C-alpha cells in the first residue's frame, strides 16, 4: 500500500468520464488499498479514483451519516439516484463543500437531500444503501468525479465567478498540479 498524490483541478483525468471496471483482481484491490491509505492521510471523507489520476469508476467514503454513525466503504461501478435538488440558493454556511482536488477552497452548492447508491465492492459483491443529508452530499460529490465533474463545475453564477478568479490566481487552468497527503501541508488545516 502507498499514499498516492492527489491531482488538482485542470488535470485531464478529472474532466473525463471514468471507465467501467471490468476486472476484479489483485491489481484492483491493490489500487483500492492505496486509495484507502491516501484517503486516511488526506483527512478527507471521500476519494474517487480519478483524484489519484486513475480514470476508473471507483470511489471510497469514510464519513458520518446524519445519525453520527461512521460509514466506510468502497463502491465500484456505482449508479446514483437522488431526490430533487432544491432550486433555492445554497447557504454559504450550511451548503459549503470542499474537495481534495480543489485544495483549500470551499464553496456552497445545492445538493439533493437523499441518495441511493448501488454498485459492487472490490470483490464484485453487491453494494446498495441510502444516504440522507450531509452523507448524501458526500455520495453525490464522489459520484460526480466519475462523471468528469467537480463540485466547482456546478456552482451558481455568484460562486462560479469567485471560483474562476481563484482558479486563475492559483494557476489551476493547466494540468500538472498535485499534492501528497501526509507529506505536503494539509490544505484544509486538519
Which residues fall within 8 angstroms of residue 90, CB to CB, at 6 or more apart? 96, 108, 109, 110, 156, 159
Query: Catalytic pick from 11, 97, 122, 142?
Result: 142
Contact of 122 with 76, CB cutoff 8 Å:
yes
Q: Are strands 58-64 and 178-179 parallel, antiparallel or unpaired?
A: unpaired
Known catalytic residue: 142?
Answer: yes
145 is in an annotated binding site: yes
Q: How many helices (H) and strands (E) does the chain have?
A: 3, 9
Would the annotation count 141 as a binding residue? yes
| Positive/negative CA dihedral, 160, 52, 3, 141 | positive
Annotated binding site for Fe cation: 99, 141, 145
Annotated binding site: 99, 141, 145
Cite the active site residues. Answer: 142
Amino acid at each position: 500500500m502507498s499514499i498516492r498524490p492527489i491531482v488538482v483541478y485542470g488535470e485531464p483525468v478529472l474532466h473525463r468520464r471514468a471507465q467501467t471496471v471490468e476486472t476484479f483482481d489483485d491489481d484492483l484491490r491493490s489500487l483500492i488499498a492505496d486509495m484507502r491509505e491516501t484517503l486516511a492521510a488526506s483527512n478527507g471523507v471521500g476519494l474517487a479514483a480519478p483524484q489519484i489520476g486513475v480514470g476508473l469508476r471507483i470511489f471510497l467514503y469514510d464519513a458520518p451519516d446524519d445519525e453520527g454513525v461512521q460509514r466506510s466503504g468502497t463502491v465500484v461501478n456505482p449508479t446514483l439516484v437522488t431526490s430533487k435538488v432544491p432550486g433555492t440558493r445554497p447557504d454559504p454556511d450550511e451548503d459549503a463543500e470542499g474537495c481534495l482536488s480543489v485544495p483549500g477552497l470551499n464553496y456552497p452548492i445545492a445538493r439533493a437531500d437523499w441518495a441511493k447508491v448501488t454498485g459492487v465492492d472490490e470483490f464484485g459483491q453487491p453494494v446498495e444503501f441510502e444516504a440522507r443529508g450531509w452523507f448524501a452530499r458526500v455520495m453525490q460529490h464522489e459520484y460526480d468525479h466519475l462523471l468528469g465533474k467537480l463540485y466547482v463545475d456546478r456552482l451558481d453564477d455568484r460562486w462560479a465567478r469567485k471560483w474562476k478568479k481563484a482558479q486563475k490566481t492559483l494557476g489551476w487552468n493547466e494540468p500538472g498540479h498535485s499534492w501528497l497527503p501526509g507529506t505536503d501541508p494539509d490544505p484544509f488545516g486538519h
